[in-house]
Each structure stands twice: as C-alpha cells, then as structure tokens.
Amino acid sequence: MASKTGSCLCGEVEYELAEEPTSYGACHCGMCRKFSGGIELGIQVPPGGVRFVPTDKLALYESSDWAERGFCMLCGSSVFWRFTGEGPLEGMFSISAGTLEDMSGMTFDAEVYIDHKPDSHSFAGERTRLTEAEVLAAAGVETGDDG
C-alpha cells in the first residue's frame, strides 16, 4: 500500500497527504520534462489535501501565469506542481509521485500532453491519454503555454 508521507531527497521538505494516494499520471510537457529531469509522475491532490511540515527550504517557482512549482532549495528535488489560475482546477496540486516514501499498490492511470512526448520512449499498457488541447480545455485555460 502506498504511504501518505513523502519528502525530497535530503528530507528537509516533508509532507503528509490527507488521503492515501491510489493513482498517478505522467505529464510529457516540455516544462515538466525540465522540472523533473525526465518524466514527471504526479498525484492529483485537491487544495487542502496535503500538509507540508514547516521549512524554509521549500522554494516556489512561478512557471507560468497559471502554475507554480515547488522544489527543495537544498537538494533540488522536484516536489510539486500547483495550478494557480482560476477554474475547476484552482489550487490543485500534482505531487511528484517519486517523493512518496512508498509507491507500491498504486495505479498508473493517465498520461497528459501526450502530443509533446519525445518519440524515443513510451509507456506500455492502456490508460487515459490526453493531448495539450484536451488538457487545457478541461482546465479552462485559454493560453497555449505549458504550465
């Protein structure tokens, strides 16, 4: 079973989820590729669904007009993406799944920005796959920028 707790590599940034996470998805957009250093795997968590242990090592980067990203300024781990715009996703977190203490028992159920995926790799198996346009429509975002 997956844990509700997670942290960055060095342990300075720690969090606890309100609910046990059951699934995660991959984002293939160019910004998540750079943020994660590979493929960003995220757990969707509603606003208020995560509590961070107070620390001055959690840094925020405003990556677009409608999203910010949190990372550890000591070890550099990518900890989360957060929707800061208005609309149905307002305040939604995508917690980097790899920061969980234990990822076992979870389902890998979605891939987004599938049209931005490098052609040199792809995940096997069946799951929901959404293009950039489909993601932006669902989020109510009109810009074509990555988040």
Binding site for Zn ion (CB under 5 A): 8, 10, 12, 27, 29, 32, 72, 74-75
Give me the least distance between CB of 17 and Zn ion, in Å please.
18
Nearer to Zn ion, 28 or 106 (CB): 28
Of 74 and 103, the one with the shorter C-beta distance to Zn ion is 74
Quick one: tokens of 55? 């620390």
Give 45's contacts (C-beta < 8 A, 6+ positions apart): 17, 21, 92, 93, 94, 95
Residue type, 16: E
Smallest distance from the beta carbon of 70 to Zn ion, in angstroms? 11
For Zn ion, give the closer residue by CB, 32 or 139: 32
Shortest distance, position 61 Cβ to Zn ion, whole Å: 13
Minimum CB separation of residue 72 from Zn ion in Å reads 3
Name the residue with tokens 């799944």.
97
Amino acid present at 124: A
DSSP string, 52-103: EPP-S-EEEEEEETTEEEEEETTT--EEEEEE-SSSTTTT-EEEEGGGBS--
Q: Which is nearer to Zn ion, 87 or 105 (CB)?
A: 87
